[in-house]
């Protein structure tokens, strides 16, 4: 009888050891599932048992009881957080637990492109369902909160130029004014403390640097050309020659609600009496005309040293490169070469049709 009892005890111990090893192994073994890339919602107030059952039903966990047993033994059930989770595949139960303890929310994304104006940004914001904006005008009004930049730019009448181009992640509950503030904060994070002093050494304010950078952003597609474009702008300012930057002319038309949004600059645009019309008026426009990126800001602060006064697109390249000139004669030759290339291109396109 004693031997039988001993045998039973041994068998129980072996079974317990085997079960313990299996649980230990199961908790650490990554398993594949088909929910990767999909969000699974864990509602607030869900019990640990309900969470584990849901994840088992979804296929993220292969078995319920090993993790239930682990939570009961460790007391970690209270650390699980509600949220929207995307579990990678394969994943182990302990890794699932770690994600549940950390918490995860589904984030929306919004991208501001270099060279966008506040109208462009407002239009894009109005198309994001999570922001719950009625129209573009509602988004545009949020960009009048100049208190966000008043220390850096006391003359600002809106946030043009300070809505930094980048991709922003935000939760679905984020109000649109907070997204705008995120853009400004990103700008402030890029604007180095010594840049204000650098602007002062150039005889300029931060606002004038941002304005110059916005012109550079809209003119130069290639990063290595931006300091050259900056040099042209500064050389023309020094000689009191109108900058003749089309983006500022377009901006003037947008301010008056006259821009046709067809990509063409009309005579009425060129002749518009606006301080933003840099074909008529010498000097910088009154403020930024777009959102400049970091390389354009740096180019405005550290321009190349040249005697260039002109640039025109290089027709021999298809990457947006320019040729630069220090005299009107060479510039006119460059313009004619570009016009010839444009005529030949248009003729080839017409023949293909």
119 and 96 together in one domain: no
Task: Let me know if residue 132 belongs to a domain.
Answer: yes
pLDDT category at 15 given cuts 50, 70, 90 is very low
- What pLDDT is stored for residue 173 in this prediction? 86
Last residue of a domain, one of 85, 102, 119: 102
Cα angle 89, 94, 98 (rounded to 5 degrees) comes to 90
> At residue 196, does pLDDT exceed 80?
yes
Q: Which of 7-21, 46-60, 175-189, 214-228 has the lowest mean pLDDT?
A: 7-21
Which tens digit of pLDDT belongs to each residue from 297-347? 999 999 999 999 999 999 999 899 999 999 999 999 999 999 999 898 888
pLDDT, tens digit, 9 for 90 and up, residues 251-288: 999 999 998 888 888 999 999 999 999 999 999 999 99
Cβ neighbours, 10 Å, residue 308: 21
Total domains in the chain come to: 4
Whole-angstrom distance, CA of residue 139 vs CA of residue 131: 9
- Nearest-angstrom CA–CA distance, 329 and 332: 5
* Better-scored residue on pLDDT, 64 or 349: 64
Question: Based on the domain organization, do 237 and 318 belong to the same domain?
Answer: no
Mean pLDDT of 221-245: 97
Q: Grade residue 349 by pLDDT with cuts at 50, 70 and 90.
A: confident
Residue 17 has pLDDT above 50, yes or no: no
pLDDT confidence of 2, banded at 50, 70, 90?
low
Phi, then psi, of 39 in degrees rounded to 5: -90, 135
pLDDT of 5: 56
Residue pLDDT, tens place only, 141-180: 999 999 999 999 999 999 999 999 999 999 888 999 999 9
**Final residue before a domain boundary, out of 102, 131, 148:** 102
Q: How far is CA 43 from CA 51, 87, 266, 315, in A?
A: 9, 16, 57, 59
Query: Would the pLDDT of 56 be above 50?
Result: yes
Under a CB-based contact definition with an 8 Å cutoff, are residues 147 and 130 in contact? no
- Taking 90 as the threshold, does the pLDDT of residue 218 lie above it? yes
9 in a domain, yes or no? no
End residue of a domain, out of 155, 190, 225: 190
202 and 304 inside one domain: yes
| Residue 1 pLDDT | 57
pLDDT of amino acid 242: 97
- What residues form DSSP beta bridges with 322? 313
Q: Name the residue range of residue 279's domain.
A: 198-308
Asked whether residue 19 is assigned to any structural domain, the reply reads no
The pLDDT of residue 10 is 45
Q: Which of 92, 80, 111, 97 is nearest to 26 (CA)?
A: 92
22-47 average pLDDT score: 86
CATH number at residue 49: 3.30.1490.480
For residue 107, the model assigns a pLDDT of 85
Residue 8 domain-assigned?
Answer: no
Instruction: Categorize the per-residue pLDDT at 20 as very low, low, confident or very high, splitting at 50, 70 and 90.
Output: low
- Where residue 19 falls among pLDDT bands split at 50, 70, 90? low
| pLDDT at residue 18, as a whole number | 45
User: pTM of the full predicted structure?
Assistant: 0.78
Q: Are residues 302 and 285 in the same domain?
A: yes
| Nearest CA-CA partner of 145 in 128, 129, 162, 132 | 162
Q: 102 or 106: whose pLDDT is higher?
A: 102
Q: Which residue, 304, 123, 285, 288, is CA-closest to 191?
A: 288
Cα distance between residue 193 and residue 161, in whole Å: 18
């Amino acid at each position: 009888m004693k031997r039988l009892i001993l045998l039973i005890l041994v068998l129980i111990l072996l079974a317990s050891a085997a079960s313990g090893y299996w649980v230990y192994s199961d908790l650490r073994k990554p398993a594949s599932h088909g929910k990767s890339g999909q969000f699974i919602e864990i509602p607030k107030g869900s019990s640990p048992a309900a969470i584990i059952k849901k994840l088992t039903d979804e296929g993220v966990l292969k078995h319920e009881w090993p993790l239930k047993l682990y939570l009961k033994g460790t007391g970690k059930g209270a650390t699980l957080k509600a949220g929207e989770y995307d579990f990678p595949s394969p994943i182990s139960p302990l890794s699932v637990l770690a994600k549940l303890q950390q918490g995860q929310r589904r984030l929306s994304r919004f991208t501001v492109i270099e060279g966008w104006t506040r109208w462009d940004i407002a239009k894009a914001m109005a198309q994001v369902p999570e922001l719950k904006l009625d129209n573009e005008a509602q988004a545009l009004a949020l960009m009048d909160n100049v208190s966000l930049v008043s220390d850096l730019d006391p003359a600002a009448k809106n946030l043009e130029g300070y809505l930094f181009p980048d991709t922003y992640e935000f939760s679905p509950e984020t109000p649109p004014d907070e997204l705008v503030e995120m853009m400004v904060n990103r700008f402030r994070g890029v604007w180095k403390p010594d840049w204000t002093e650098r602007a002062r050494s150039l005889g300029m304010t931060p606002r004038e640097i941002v304005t110059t950078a916005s012109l550079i952003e809209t003119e130069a597609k290639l990063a290595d050309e931006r300091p050259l474009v900056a040099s042209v702008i500064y050389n023309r300012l020094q000689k009191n020659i109108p900058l003749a930057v089309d983006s500022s002319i377009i901006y003037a038309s947008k301010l008056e609600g006259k821009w046709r949004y067809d990509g063409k600059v009309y005579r009425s645009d060129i002749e518009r009496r606006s301080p933003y019309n840099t074909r008529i008026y010498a000097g910088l426009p009154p403020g930024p005309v777009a959102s400049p990126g970091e390389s354009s800001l740096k180019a405005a602060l550290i321009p190349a040293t040249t005697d260039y006064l002109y640039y025109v697109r290089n027709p021999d390249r298809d990457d947006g490169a320019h040729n630069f000139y220090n005299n009107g004669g060479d510039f006119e030759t460059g313009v004619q070469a570009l016009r010839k290339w444009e005529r030949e291109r248009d003729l080839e396109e017409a023949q293909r049709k």
